[in-house]
Each structure stands twice: as structure tokens, then as C-alpha cells.
Amino acid sequence: MSQEAPPEPLVAYDHTDLVNRPKRIWNWGNIPLPGLLLPALGAAFGFGLVWLVTLFTVSAFLPFLGMSMWTSILYFGPPFAVYFVWGRPLPSALTLSQQIVVWTDWWFQPKRLQGLSADQEPEHLHWQVILFTPGSPRWQARYDAARRVAAERGSAFAAARR
């Protein structure tokens, strides 16, 4: 018995990364300044609004959370952290936003929610081929000419039709 090696996992790379590329919108002379990562900026802004409203609401009941030099780190630190964490690639080479989409898709698939079937890959794959022969006379003439040339050269293409 020969043991087959396990199949290599499929890997796809996106070298363009157009959505997550920092936008260099400012220049100082001919020196481009570090750009903004717009998806991360949007996530940090949205989180920052929710975070500030929550802290201001809680500080009405807990006076030590009022705005001061020391609590400003608590108020503004997490939104800044979200900006820098959101756009940085994880070990899976996905950004946090992409990883959240993959995780959400994995856990909340319609068939998983509806209980229709287990999420498993098929064990046996088979190919299904649909052969189509167009009826156009122009195409048929080119096809016949190609078969004649293949027959003259002794190609397997010509022998397959006999």
C-alpha cells in the first residue's frame, strides 16, 4: 500500500491590498508623510464616539471618572488603540476587519443557523463536463481545417474523433 501525501492547502495572496493601503494624502515638500488607513480611521472614530458617550454617561454616576489629565488616557487611549490594531495584519495575514468577516461568515452561515446540514467539505470530488458543438458554419469550417492540419501532423487531436 502506498501512502499518499496529504494535499497542500490552497493559498491565495492579494498583493494589491488596495482597500487597506495607507492613503498618503499629505506631503512636506517632496517627502510623503505617513498616510492614514481609512478603514481603521472609520472604525476608531465609530468606536471612539460610542466609548466617549459611554464614559461620559458613567462619569455622571462615578465622579472619579470625570475628565482630567489622568483619565484622558482612559477616554482617548482605546480609540487610538483601535486605529492601530484595526489595520495591522494578524498572523493569518488578514486585518482585524477581514478576520471578523471570516469569523462571522463561519459562525452565522444560513445553513448553520437553520440546521440544514453540517458544514463539511465533500470527501469525493468529481468533474462534470458539458460539451458544446456550435452549429455555425464559419466555426465548423475552422474546426475542420484544424482537424485536417492535426491529422497531417499525426496529432492525438485528430485520432480522438475517429
What is the identity of the amino acid at 111? K
Q: What is the pLDDT of residues 42-83, one digit of tens each?
A: 899 999 999 999 988 988 888 887 777 888 888 889 999 998
Cell numbers found for residue 119: 458544514
Same domain assignment for residues 78 and 158: no
Range of the domain at 75: 9-117
Same domain assignment for residues 86 and 53: yes
Q: What does pTM read for this prediction?
A: 0.48
Same domain assignment for residues 85 and 140: no
pLDDT at 129 over 70: yes
Q: How confident is the model at residue 140 (pLDDT cuts 50, 70, 90)?
A: confident
Same domain assignment for residues 93 and 34: yes
What is the identity of the amino acid at 100? I
Q: Is residue 63 part of a domain?
A: yes
Same domain assignment for residues 90 and 130: no
Total domains, the chain: 2
Q: Is residue 137 part of a domain?
A: yes
Same domain assignment for residues 95 and 155: no
Task: Determine the Cα–Cα distance for residues 40 and 46; give it in Å rounded to an integer.
Answer: 10
Q: Is residue 107 part of a domain?
A: yes
Same domain assignment for residues 111 and 160: no
Same domain assignment for residues 101 and 148: no
Same domain assignment for residues 106 and 131: no
Same domain assignment for residues 46 and 76: yes
Same domain assignment for residues 82 and 23: yes
Cell numbers found for residue 121: 467539505
Q: What is the DSSP string of 99-159?
A: HHHHHHHHHT-HHHHHT-------S-------------HHHHHHHHHHHHHHHHHT-HHHH
> In terms of Cα–Cα distance, which of 43, 54, 53 is closest to 80?
43
pLDDT at 23 over 70: no
25-29, 98-102, 127-131: least confident range = 25-29
